[in-house]
């Protein structure tokens, strides 16, 4: 891994940046579709594709090496606005709430949006300090196959319902004071990391 991959990417005041984290084990076209949808619909300047050391809520027995997952992500994300980074590993971060705190502290002046797939919103209430994340920066939830309705009725979806923006105002999300979020519909990929790992082992 390079020093750049382990460092927080450089920012300048006013940049609109999406934070898109995950194990990416492996990275696939569905992840890329989420990133590209967020870039386009939110009118972002950058997406930080944050390859995590490992999701605390997932089984790590089949977790591929971090370097391998970084290289897969970089090969997939060809758009220069998508910056693949593993700075969470360098800072020994396990929880997304700590990532948010670090970025807000180090990168004053930029406008951040947390980006997640709709399947993540369904279990968002299980994340460490999830309410702190929602209170720290706006959130964009991108539709995923089979995850359109259930996340909206999930515990987090219900708790945040009154802060939801109309989808037609998505381009304003980065300028909204949190809590604020939007659900983005669009093309979906049925690929999942779980299915890809199962195919590889069969």
Can you give the residue ranges of every domain in the chain?
A: 16-200
* Burial of residue 127, with CB atoms counted within 10 A of its CB: 0-12 exposed, 13-18 middle, 19 or more buried: buried
Percent of the chain surpassing pLDDT 70:
89
What are the pLDDT digits (tens) for 87-130? 999 999 999 999 999 999 999 999 999 999 998 998 999 999 99
**CATH homologous superfamily for the domain 16-200:** HUPs (3.40.50.620)
188 pLDDT exceeds 70?
no
pLDDT for residue 195: 46
Greater confidence (86 vs 201) lies with: 86
Three-state secondary-structure class, residue 13? coil
Rounded Cα distance between 69 and 11, Å, is 24
Rounded to two decimals, the pTM is 0.90
* Nearest residue to 86 (alpha-carbon basis) of 43, 62, 54: 54
Greater confidence (22 vs 144) lies with: 22
198 pLDDT exceeds 70?
no
pLDDT for residue 193: 43
What are the pLDDT digits (tens) for 62-81? 899 999 999 999 999 999 99
Confidence of residue 29 (pLDDT cuts 50, 70, 90): very high
């Amino acid at each position: 891994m390079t020093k750049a991959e382990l460092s927080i990417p450089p920012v300048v005041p006013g940049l609109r940046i999406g934070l898109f984290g995950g194990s990416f084990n492996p990275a696939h076209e569905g992840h890329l579709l989420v990133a590209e949808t967020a870039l386009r619909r939110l009118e972002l300047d950058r997406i930080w594709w944050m390859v995590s050391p490992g999701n605390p809520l997932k089984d790590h027995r089949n977790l591929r090496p971090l370097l391998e997952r970084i290289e897969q992500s970089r090969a997939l994300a060809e758009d220069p606005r998508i910056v693949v980074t593993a700075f969470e590993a360098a800072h020994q971060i396990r929880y997304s709430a700590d990532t948010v705190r670090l970025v807000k502290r180090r990168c004053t002046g930029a406008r951040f949006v947390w980006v997640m797939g709709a399947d993540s919103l369904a279990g968002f209430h299980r994340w460490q300090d999830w309410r702190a994340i929602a209170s720290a920066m706006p959130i964009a939830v991108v539709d995923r196959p089979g995850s359109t309705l259930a996340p909206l009725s999930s515990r987090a979806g219900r708790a945040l319902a009154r802060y939801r923006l109309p989808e037609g105002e998505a381009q304003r999300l980065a300028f909204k004071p949190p809590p604020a979020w939007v659900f983005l519909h669009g093309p979906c990929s049925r690929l999942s990391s779980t299915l890809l790992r199962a195919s590889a082992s069969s």
